[in-house]
Structure 1
Amino acid sequence: MICPHCTANLTRKSRPGKRCGSCKKPFVFEPKENPLALHDVKVRRLTEKLSEGGLWYTTTQLYYASARKTNKVAASGPTGCAIVVPIIAGLVLVVLGTFGGNPPVLAVIGAALLVFSAVIIWLRVTGVIKRAVVMKMSLQQFRQEIIGGWSRVYGKPPGGIVDEPHVKPGRQPQQPAFAILSPDPSVLACLQVNDVGRRFNAALAAKVAELPPSTPVAVIHDASLDGEIFLASAKHELQGRRVIDLGLRPRTVLAAKDPFKLRTKDRQPERIAWLKANTDLTPKELEWLGDGWSSPVAALRPAQLLARVEKVAGHLSGKDDPAQKAAAAIGFMTWPTA
């Protein structure tokens, strides 16, 4: 670990309490003392990545970025770390009860623990037991402990951050080329503070009723039951207008190498049935949603969000049309003459 104040290499011996052994300045976080295993240097790295290209990011985007490592551990594998303890205990008891003159009852208890562990693993692998994958810390707790703690030690919040509740609605373009519809306040705040409205002549809205008339609409939503139902409902209300899905789509999450995923134990078969009847989701996507999985669109970095908006802006303007690209490449000074 490196001291965020003086960049000195820190060992356990050079970290007395929560202060650098070299410059004596305090640290905000000790990895073992917070659910997200954060330390000061990691927070700095995360904020630098989120603000690449001079972009602003939201508290929620930092929240998900900070939880990515712990989320990956929780979301991967069929068993989780908790099952390791009874397996190790079972093996130890079997050895002790079999060798060394210890009571045989220890081996029986150990064998029982191993059988119990095997049954739990089988139930989880086959999907009989559905484990939840949840955030280790609430967003409000993150604001208070992580952002608040950082501000107390360093005198100000991490660089480049904006908190969604403090972002006021901006002026909408008078004649927008298209509109962006999203129910996620973090997404809208991120797009607004990064000047998407002016850069792409786009209006921003959280509800269909807030959309400008006639323009094409790009929808940004979670890969979740709520997100897919929001998209389908928007398409129904906007019949006759062009609606473009910017995701997240479940198929994108399923194909991603290292997606951010959450899972609830709650099952809603009636909503899955509605989606099956009213959307083009594949059976695999419906099964994924039906198993309680989701992925928040706010876990995307600002650069990733803006890349999606830029792509749809180029598509709607015709800039990504092959014929127009060819014409632009020729240029008016190089048109062939008869």
Structure 2
Amino acid sequence: MICPRCAASLTGKQRSGRICAHCGKRFALDPAVHGKGMHDIRIRGIAERATDHGRLKITLTQLWYLSRTRNYAWAEQDPQGVPAGIRWLVALPVAVALLLCAVLTDGVLAFVAGAAGCVVLVVASAMRHRPGRPPRSQIIPSEETFRQLMTGAWSTAYGRLPKGVVDDARPVPRPRGASRSRASAPLSRPTAVILCTDRVAALFLTANDIPGRLGAVLLEAAGTEGTAGRSDIVTGALKELAEYRSALPVVVLHDADPLGVLLAPLIRAAQPDRVVVDAGLPVSAARGKQGVVRLARHNRFADAEQLRTVAGLPEADAKWLADGFWSPIAAVPPRLLESIVVRAVERALAAPPPGPRHAHTNGFLTWPQAPQTPHARDTGRPGAGTSKREGTSSA
């Protein structure tokens, strides 16, 4: 590997203990130890591009998404075969009965009964059972591993996280350029509301004072896992929006998941006099574009029919979400996320009040293309099985 300190080419022996044998300085990551792609030069370059060379602050979670080397997602697997307990509960009595018949009789009948008993035992032994599995996904390296490397080995080698990266496990500092009066102004006289369902994306917006620059107030709608907790997000969002006059437009920023695509239509239905702009991650982009982070979990919020009728999704997008796949908006490149929010607020302020002609005109934004980055080849997948898999990888 190349030493990130002096650019010397190092063999395994020359970088023992993550100390360069040429310059004697410590570095943080060794691909041979921490996995493919885990290299100081690569991580530093990703951070520089993501922060726009220091102009933006990004969270450690955003850096993890951008630094991933593999991403896998599997749909739910139905159980196959007969469980061993049930199989032997049926096979053993049948085999015993046939073998007793062979013992108590003679001639051809005894031969047939004995052979049938043996066949039952052989078939029961040969049968296999694969239990069902819920939707699941994996990002390599894991968030826990990446966070430990950055707050441990990286901070030890360089004294801090990469420039512009903040640890979102701690309170996000106020931007240096944001005065106290400027930061508090949107709370008293906002011109728009940004409703964000992703905590990491909300922290990114706060760290860069994007709502303050736009004269908007940021509301974070978060809930617990499960149907009840996610329903609370919709109820809580409507309750918080009720505190702001109906003339104030709302920009909804959300993941590409069932709750996200339903949130804007539900707000429009509950508050028809309010301009609502859906600035969430489009499902079509999350499902079909290479390099997008794809995850999987149980979908208990809506089925494909609801996603088609209420959110107006195409059949393929609705089925993708119903199968448990989703994509976090926090994984969108920070510069692209910033531009989307700015354009969405501008569009919301310019939109006419909803009426018979405009009630359904504020839909998904057309997202610009993200900058192209080299992707690592997908060489395989962990685990086994024949379930449907969504896999992406990026370097």
After TM superposition, is the score higher than 0.5?
yes
Specify the alignment match of 1:59 in structure 2: 60
Q: Which has the higher contact order (CA 8 A, sep 6+)?
A: 2
The structure in which a higher percent of residues are helix is 1
Specify the alignment match of 1:84 in structure 2: none
Counterparts of 1:246-285 in structure 2 under 5 Å? 246-264=279-297, 266=298, 268=300, 271-285=303-317
Match of 1:197 among 211, 219, 222: 211
Alignment CA distance shift 1:154-1:226 (3 Å):
same
Work out the number of aligned pairs and report it: 265
Q: Distance in 1 between matches of 2:13 and 2:152?
A: 28
Match of 1:242 among 260, 275, 284: 275
How far is 1:137 from its partner? 5.0
User: Which deviations, in whole Å up to 9, do the C-alpha atoms of 1:255-279 show, x marking residues without a partner?
Assistant: 4243221234x45595334323422
Counterparts of 1:1-338 in structure 2 under 5 Å? 1-12=1-12, 14-34=14-34, 37-52=37-52, 54-67=55-68, 69-71=69-71, 74=72, 132-164=136-168, 165-167=170-172, 171=184, 173=186, 174-207=188-221, 208=237, 209-211=239-241, 212-214=244-246, 215-264=248-297, 266=298, 268=300, 271-318=303-350
One-letter amino acid of the structure 1 residue matched with residue 291 of structure 2: D
Give 1 or 2 for the bigger CA radius of gyration.
Answer: 2
Alignment CA distance shift 1:6-1:219 (3 Å):
same
Q: Distance in 1 between matches of 2:286 and 2:261?
A: 13
Contact 2:275 2:348 in 1 (8 A): no
One-letter amino acid of the structure 1 residue matched with residue 217 of structure 2: A
Name stretches of at least 5 consecutive residues in structure 2 with no aligned partner.
75-131, 175-182, 222-236, 352-395
Q: Distance in 1 between matches of 2:73 and 2:142?
A: 17
How far is 1:179 from its partner? 1.3
Contact 1:148 1:157 in 2 (8 A): no
Per the alignment, in what secondary structure is the counterpart of residue 277 of structure 2?
strand
Name stretches of at least 5 consecutive residues in structure 1 with no aligned partner.
77-127, 320-338
Over aligned residues, Cα RMSD in angstroms?
A: 3.0
Per the alignment, in what secondary structure is the counterpart of residue 151 of structure 1?
helix
User: Which deviations, in whole Å up to 9, do the C-alpha atoms of 1:73-98 show, x marking residues without a partner?
Assistant: x359xxxxxxxxxxxxxxxxxxxxxx
Q: Distance in 2 between matches of 1:240 and 1:269?
A: 26
Contact 2:137 2:295 in 1 (8 A): yes
Per the alignment, in what secondary structure is the counterpart of residue 239 of structure 1?
coil
Alignment CA distance shift 1:11-1:232 (3 Å):
farther
User: Which deviations, in whole Å up to 9, do the C-alpha atoms of 1:129-188 show, x marking residues without a partner?
Assistant: 997432245534433333332112211122101233412795351322211111211111
Per the alignment, in what secondary structure is the counterpart of residue 171 of structure 1?
helix
Q: Distance in 2 between matches of 1:269 and 1:65?
A: 28
Per the alignment, in what secondary structure is the counterpart of residue 47 of structure 1?
helix
Q: Distance in 2 between matches of 1:32 and 1:296?
A: 30
Alignment CA distance shift 1:172-1:11 (3 Å):
farther
User: Which deviations, in whole Å up to 9, do the C-alpha atoms of 1:94-150 show, x marking residues without a partner?
Assistant: xxxxxxxxxxxxxxxxxxxxxxxxxxxxxxxxxx99974322455344333333321
Alignment CA distance shift 1:154-1:182 (3 Å):
same
TM score, norm. by length of structure 1: 0.69
Contact 1:261 1:294 in 2 (8 A): yes
